[in-house]
Structure formats: structure tokens, C-alpha cells
Amino acid sequence: EEQDVITALVEFMAKLSPGNVQRDLNFGWNDTSNPCTDKWEGITCDSSLNFVKKIILDEYNLTGVLDAESLCQTSTLLVLSLVKNNISGELGEEISGCKNLTHLYLSDNRFSGPIPSSVSELSNLKRFNVSHNNFTGELPDMSKVTGLLSYLAENNQFIGGIPQLEFSNLVEFNVSYNNLSGPIPDVAVRLGNSSFSGNPGLCGKPLSNVCPIVSPPPGKGTQSSSSQFLMYSGYAVLALIVVLLVAFTVVKKMKSKNKVNISPREVRRDDSDATSTNFRNDGNRSEFSLTSAETGSGTSSLVVVSTPMVNGMKFDDLLRAPAELLGRGKHGNLYKVMPNGGVTLVVKRIKDWPISKDDFKKKMQRVGQVIHPKVLPIVAYYCSKEEKLLVYEYQRNGSLFRILHGLHNGQMFNWGSRLNMAASISEALAFLHEELGDEGIPHGNLKSSNIMLNEDMEACISEYGLMEVHNQTKTKPNNVKTDNPDVAPAYTFKDDIHSFGEILLELLTGQVAQNRGPDLARWIHSVAKEEWMVQVFDKSLASEGASEERIVNLLQVALKCINALPDARPNMNQIADMINSIKEEEERSISC
Ligand SMILES: Nc1ncnc2c1ncn2[C@@H]1O[C@H](COP(=O)(O)OP(=O)(O)OP(=O)(O)O)[C@@H](O)[C@H]1O
């Protein structure tokens, strides 16, 4: 079998280099030698010299065609780079046989014809560069290649529209100077003008030519009046349908807006015995009661945990205030509530939490005692049979997710801020895990959208204590299963550490880690193994000249956190220490 691979590789080179151009003796690429042990030119093998990993033949004056069928007999191939040669002809559909390919560089050649759709089967591909060739046809749809980082196809003769891609994950994208047409997808706007220029048919941001508003095709002079009548009545019916649809949507929105206003009536439905509203202030802890205080039966109240923020505010003020839906999260909807003249709040309306009123109250009291500058405190909570509300102060600087992914006024997020952010979160988590002793409960839903930025742009962990946990201790193994099938798996401290590792990766790479944690980690591992580490990191870090050594040190911490074996992950105190020493080194280097 090994000999078959060698024969196929020799065949591949024969087609690339027709006429048997004389190469020097060390060139290899012949039937009588071995690509790994005899070190064929341009070939890199694994460390035990068992199989071929890379073929890099840039600027070798290759003039033939690419025989993908022969090449892909080497199924172990990760990297193919044939940049700056004179290779012509088409890229064969057999390229999909190179299943493990992570890097495909064919730029600066004379390739022609369409790119075969089979390239979309190269599911491990990270970098795809076919720029500066004569490729025609449509751009390949790589939407299923989820780990793709580069998509470079500029200076060809591609036609058609921009394909669907995971634009938020792409580090490089360029399709300029082709014959593309149609609108640029909204998600691609952040990529900038130079990614799209030189395509007269493309329109929409970031280009300056606005997309034309699609209008009905003009009637032809030869059309009979009856067909014109049919056409116009068709438009009229269409317009009527549109009007009806709009009216329907508006009515629906108004209905749901009513729901957004967390109306007192709605809440009181659960409390038929509610007859009065009182505000009792008891030092630090105040209670807003919706119950019949006189009868004292069936208490159900909004408990204000931290008074200064909502001092003097009536529960009714909160309930009647205009509200705006911020998101529909895993635990329920989140509303921004703006009480008249008061501080802006957010209210989380928790759905389907099978917890008794008493247990909820106990839990919130426990969470209310967790006071740390980097943990967003609960301002108040409310609990009735069907309704559980949590109130926080609105954070106008948004979340770490927003700032990392450029949704925060395009503000840049430099290395120093990222390192500080990592240190702050680790410090707060160490407090939650270690300092609270037996009171400590895991967060259970750590992610960048739950890290808020306070007034001073410092990290603040939100939604602590919301996740359901089942009487666990710090030593329990990961994802403890309970005998009760209705009970969700418990979250452990080690799960929090894994999630923190994903946040570190998100800080380092600028890639959305959420929902693709294991994939992202696998990707980092594979690139780290390839010793192409620098390519992993958010390119804005490289451009600001951040220290590669400290970036790599932080990556090492992240990799420890995402270790597949929960017990092998360090604890939060150890992690906070590691990050603090990286931070100290950074500070020392700045002061030197
Ligand atoms: N206190 C706050 N102030 C301002 N924005 C907030 C606050 N809390 C959350 N947000 C933002 O509101 C949006 C919606 O939050 P929500 O909690 O519904 O979504 P989520 O974090 O994706 O879901 P979940 O936490 O339930 O899994 C997110 O962008 C989040 O960052």
C-alpha cells in the first residue's frame, strides 16, 4: 500500500512537471526512494517519518496540471501549497479525496474552469486560497466547513453571488476583482471594502453602490391591455396581501408588547389574595409585598436585595414601566425596564424552573449574600406559583461577547484589556468556587454574553446562581447523573472551568466559542500541533504587536481548562494565579 502511495505521488509530480525537468539529485520524487526517509523536496512527514503531512512546492516553476486523483492517494495530507507556479487546467473533483486537508493554497497560478463543488466536502479545511488564477463559474459554497478561517478567491473570473459562509468566524475573506454580482450579505459588512471591490455587479455595504430597490418589471409596449390589466391586478392582490401581513404583524407585536410590559395584573393573577402593595424597608433588605399583608396568607413578594439602586421605587413602577425585550435566553426572556425617573434595570423572567417558592427564596437569599465587585448583584427578585423574576441593574456597556465580536461601536479590544478581563473573571470565579466554602455553587452558564462590562469597562459575571444544581460538592465528578430522569444533569465546578477555558479561547482567537466549544478546542489543538500557532490568534493582537510569548502562555492555561478529563483541570485558584503571573510579566515588560 505504501508503494502505491509512492507511485501515485510520482505520477502527481510527473503531471505537474511535464518533460521531466532535470532536478538535482536530492529532489527525490521517484519510485525507488521514500518521501519521508529520503526527504523528498517539498515534503514534510510526521515525526516518526511514517506518513506525508505536507506538500509545499511554492515557486518551483511547475508548469503542468494538478492530478488530484493521484495526489489524494496520500490521504494523510494536511497541507498542499503550490503557490506561485504556472500550473494550468482545472482543479479536479477528486480533490475531495484529500479528506484531511486543512490548508489548500493554489494562489498565483493559471488554473481555469470552475472550482468543483466537491471542495465543500473538505470539512477540515481552515485555509482556502485560490486567488490570482483564471477560475470561472460560481464561488464554492463552503458553508458546511465550519472551521474555515480564510477564504481567498480574489483576482479570478468568478461570477454569481457571494456564497453563504460563517462570516463571523472568518479571519480573512477576499473576493475582489471578479465578476460577482448581487447584494453583499449584512453579516459580511465588517470585512471592509477591499474584500469586495472590483466587482461592478456587487452592491450594498461596505461598497458605496447601493442595491437597487427591486421594482416590478416594466410592461412591454407590445403587451395587450388585457394582459396588462391582469398584471396590475396581480400587483394589487400582492400589495393587499403585504398590507394584511404587515397589519397582522403589527397587531401581533402590539399583543406581545403588552406581554413585555410585565403588568401587575398579570402577576397578580397568581395571587388572587393580593389586596395591597406595601414597601417595607428593613435596613439593607427590603420587601415589596403584593400580598394581603393584613390577612398574612400566601405571601408572594418582590424582594429587594440591594436597596440603594431602587430606593423608593414601588413595585408597580417596575411593573408598569416601558420594557424592551433584550433576548430569549436558555432560562427565559430578558427585558430592559425603564421605570419613570429611576435607574434602568433588566428583568429576567425565568421559565420552567421546577422549584418551590420556599426553595427559590432560600436560593436567592444565598445568592444575594454573594458580594464581590466582579459579580453582578441581584437587585431584587419576585416569586409566585407561575412567575419568577430576577432584577439586575442594566449595564450600558454591554457584554464581553459584544465587544469581542465588534458589536460595541466598533471599539477595539486590545491585548492588555483582554488579559485584564481574563484576570478579573478568574479572580471572581475563584471567589465563587473557593472563597465561599460550602456556600459556593457553580455558575453553570458561563459564556461571554453573561460577562457584563461595568461603568469602568471591568468584567462582571452575571446570572450567578441561576442554574439548577443538585446538592453537589466541589469534588463530585463531571455531569453527575441522577436517578430521576426529570432532573437535568448537575453542573459542577469543573464545568465552570471548562466554560472559562472557552472564554479564554474566545479572548485569544476572536472566534465565537459558544456552541462550538469542543470544535474550537480541537481546532486549537490541531493548529498548535502543526506549530502554526500564530495563525490561531485574533489577528488584531498580532497587528498591535502583543507579546507572542504571553499570548501562548494564556493559551496554555486555556488548554488546561478545557482538558477532556474534568479531574485533570486545575482549580480556579490555581488558574487565577497562573493568569496573574502572566499579567505581572506583562506589566513588568511595559514598565521596562
Ligand atoms: N444586566 C444587563 N445589562 C445589559 N445587558 C444585559 C444584562 N444582562 C444580560 N444582558 C444582555 O442581554 C442579552 C440577552 O440576555 P439573555 O440572558 O437573554 O441571553 P443569553 O445570555 O444568551 O442567555 P442565557 O444567559 O439565558 O443562556 C445578551 O446580549 C446579554 O449580554
pLDDT, tens digit (0-9, with 9 covering 90-100), for 136-188: 999 999 988 877 878 999 999 999 999 988 776 677 889 999 999 999 987 67
What is the chain's mean pLDDT, rounded?
A: 75
- In the 8-state DSSP scheme, what is residue 564? S
329 lines ligand 1 (CB under 6 A): yes
Q: Give the pLDDT band (50/70/90) at residue 488.
A: very low
What is the spatial distance between Cα 205 and Cα 389, in angstroms, rounded to a whole number?
41
**Is residue 387 within 8 Å of residue 349, measured between CB atoms?**
yes
What distance in Å separates the CA atoms of residue 529 and residue 543, rounded to the nearest whole number? 23
- Coil vs helix vs strand at 190: helix
Q: What is the phi/psi pair of residue 505, to 5°?
A: -60, -40
pLDDT of residue 572: 93
Q: Is the pLDDT of residue 369 over 60?
A: yes
Cβ–Cβ under 8 Å, residues 422 and 446? no
Q: How much is the pLDDT for 423?
A: 94
Whose alpha carbon is nearest atom 28 of ligand 1? Answer: 449
Q: What is the pLDDT of residues 260-314, one digit of tens each?
A: 333 332 332 222 222 222 222 332 222 222 222 222 333 334 566 554 556 556 6
At residue 189, the pLDDT reads 65
Does the structure show a pLDDT above 50 at 591? yes
The CB density around residue 323, as the number of other CB atoms within 10 Å, is: 24
Q: Measured from the CB, is residue 201 less than 6 Å from ligand 1?
A: no
348: annotated binding-site residue?
A: yes
Does residue 394's CB lie within 6 angstroms of at least one atom of ligand 1? yes
pLDDT at position 526 over 80: no
SS3 (DSSP) at 127: strand
Name the DSSP letter for residue 178: S
Q: What is the pLDDT of residue 89?
A: 94
Does residue 489 have a pLDDT over 70? no
Calpha distance 180→196 (Å, rounded): 9
- More confident site: 301 or 47: 47
pLDDT of residue 569: 94
How much is the average pLDDT of 349-374? 80
Q: Average pLDDT of 13-28?
A: 75
Residue 224 CA to residue 435 CA, distance in Å, equals 84
**ipTM computed for the complex:** 0.96
C-alpha cell belonging to residue 514: 459558544
What is each CA distance from 211 to 259, 261, 325, 437, in whole angstroms?
37, 38, 31, 60
DSSP string, 399-434: BHHHHHTT-STT----HHHHHHHHHHHHHHHHIIII
Q: What is the pLDDT of residues 385-434, one digit of tens each?
A: 767 788 888 998 889 988 877 644 445 578 888 999 999 999 999 988 88
Query: What does the pLDDT read at residue 379?
Result: 83
Cβ atoms of residues 309 and 424 within 8 Å: no
Q: What is the sign of the dihedral through the CA atoms of 442, 446, 450 and 452?
A: positive
Distance CA 331, CA 253 (A): 22
Q: Describe the strand order of the beta sheet including 150-152 as a list of residue ranges.
A: 43-45, 52-56, 79-81, 103-105, 127-129, 150-152, 172-174
Residue whose CB lies within 8 A of the most ligand 1 atoms, among 399, 454, 463, for a mutation test: 399
Q: 560: CA distance to ligand 1 center in Å?
A: 28
Q: With the C-alpha atoms ordered 58, 60, 66, 68, is the resulting torsion angle positive or negative?
A: negative
Residue with cell 473538505: 122
Local structure of residue 364 (DSSP, 8 states): H
Please give the single-letter amino acid code of residue 501.
Answer: G
Please name the helix (run of DSSP H) or strand (run of DSSP E) that holds residue 365, with its range, or none.
Answer: helix 357-368
Q: Which atom of ligand 1 is nearest to the CA of 463?
A: 25
Q: What is the pLDDT of residue 106?
A: 96
Q: Is the CB of 66 under 6 A from ligand 1?
A: no
All 3 cell numbers of residue 236? 394589487
Whether residue 100 has its Cβ less than 6 Å from ligand 1: no
pLDDT at residue 223, as a whole number = 41
CB atoms within 10 A of CB 123: 15
User: Would you say residue 87 has pLDDT above 70?
Assistant: yes
Taking each helix axis from N to C terminus, what angle separates 572-591 and 548-561, rounded to the nearest 10 degrees? 180
The mean per-residue pLDDT over the stretch 50-58 comes to 88
Does residue 347 have its Cβ closer than 6 Å to ligand 1? no
Question: What pTM, to 2 d.p., does this model score?
Answer: 0.53
For 299, counting Cβ atoms within 10 Å of its Cβ (0-12 exposed, 13-18 middle, 19+ buried), the class is middle
Q: Which of 449, 455, 506 to mutate to test the pocket of ligand 1 (most atoms within 8 A of CB)?
A: 449
User: Could you tell me if the CB of 478 is within 6 A of ligand 1?
Assistant: no
Residue nearest to atom 4 of ligand 1 (CA): 395
At 529, is the pLDDT very low, low, confident or very high (cuts 50, 70, 90)?
low
- Grid cell 488579559 — which residue? 419
- How far is 151 from 148, CA to CA, in rounded Å? 7
Helix (H, G, I), strand (E, B) or coil at 303: strand
| Spatial CA neighbour of 419 closest among 546, 287, 569, 232 | 546
In this structure, are residues 374 and 435 in contact, taking their beta carbons and an 8 Å threshold?
Answer: no
Q: Is the pLDDT of residue 450 over 50?
A: yes
Q: Whose CA is nearest to atom 12 of ligand 1?
A: 326
HSE, CB side, 13 Å, CA atoms: give it for residue 433. Answer: 26
| Ligand 1 atom closest to residue 395's alpha carbon, by position in its atom list | 3
Digit-coded pLDDT (tens) for 323-339: 888 877 777 788 888 87
The reported pLDDT for the residue numbered 552 is 81
| pLDDT value, residue 497 | 94
Using alpha carbons only, give the angle 262, 266, 267 rounded to the nearest 5 degrees: 80
Mean pLDDT on 56-70: 92
Nearest CA to ligand 1 atom 25: 329
Per DSSP bridges, beta strands 52-56 and 43-45 are: antiparallel
**With bands split at pLDDT 50, 70 and 90, how would you rate the model's confidence at 357?**
confident
The verdict on the CB of residue 390 being under 6 Å from ligand 1 is no
Top-ranked range on mean pLDDT: pick from 7-21, 285-299, 484-498: 7-21
* Residue type (1 letter), 125: L
* Confidence check: pLDDT of 542 > 60: yes
Q: What is the pLDDT of residue 311?
A: 58
Q: Which residues pair with 568 in a beta bridge?
A: none
Q: Is there a contact between 176 and 199 (Cβ–Cβ < 8 Å)? A: yes
| Torsion (CA) 586, 521, 162, 412 in degrees, nearest 10 | -20
438 vs 293, more confident: 438
Which of 12-16, 25-29, 369-373: highest mean pLDDT? 12-16
Q: What does the pLDDT read at residue 148?
A: 82
